[in-house]
Structure 1
Amino acid sequence: MKIKTLLILAGALLMLPFQIKAQNTAPNVNYSALVKNSNSLTGVIETAEELMIANPNNFGEFQIVFCGKSIHQITDRQIMNPILNRIDSKPIKIVACGFSLNKFKVDRSKVPQGIQTVENGILHQLQLLKKGYLNLDL
């Protein structure tokens, strides 16, 4: 009788780590932000990095949509190279608004590699929200 009880107890203890692991799994959380200048871009990246540290197990990705009259800053290598180096290998993406690029006559060929361009940054932001991304509003 004692052996049977010990076997049941040992089996229950062996299953405990599997139950704990299953309870701690949470879905990844994705974020987005709409920025209008490189200073805001830097602030959002700092926030994204803090979120990655605070939630390393369920941080998904962070998409930053850059639009507005300061969109020309996106082609300034002195501004963008440090930013792009900082986010390299992190789940942080910068997306340029095509409407802004067109309106302010920014040469798309000068947009650095690694920055995705979408035709409508506002629409892209709304689509991310529909997908469940959390929005950081500045």
Structure 2
Amino acid sequence: LQNGDLVLPHFHVTEVGSVQKHFIDCSGTLRHENVINFQLFTATDYDHRLSTKKLLSIIELSEEKLGLENHEIEVEYQGDTIGKYGLDFEEGIFILTSTLTDCLAKDKCGIPQEKPRIRLSALQSEESTCKPGLGCC
């Protein structure tokens, strides 16, 4: 996980699915979202280990039976509640990444856009473009 915690080594992949979400946002815009969902589960079988070969066979069977396309992957993993995570791969390690809710229509429902912060030092040029008589001094 992004916080440094590890998925317990005796996890199971209990589901692989294609999840389609058909919805409207707060502005009434019709939207479609498709993700591939993996559900991870840990039980009390502490000696269990999911081999790479077995995981690959689960993925291949899922692709074949469900006709999976190339979509983003979300992972459900049990914490205090069922958490939904994104999936990254860094330096040979899969990392479950935090996901956040967001408004999809900020421009239409009055949520102000975050203004970029600019340092004054970045605005200063090497040479002043202000010259006497231009009215900028």
Q: Greater strand percent: which structure?
A: 2
TM-score norm. by structure 1 comes to: 0.30
Q: Greater helix percent: which structure?
A: 1
Which structure is richer in relative contact order (CA contacts within 8 A, separation 6 or more)? 1
TM-score norm. by structure 2 comes to: 0.30
Point out the structure with max Rg over C-alpha. Answer: 2
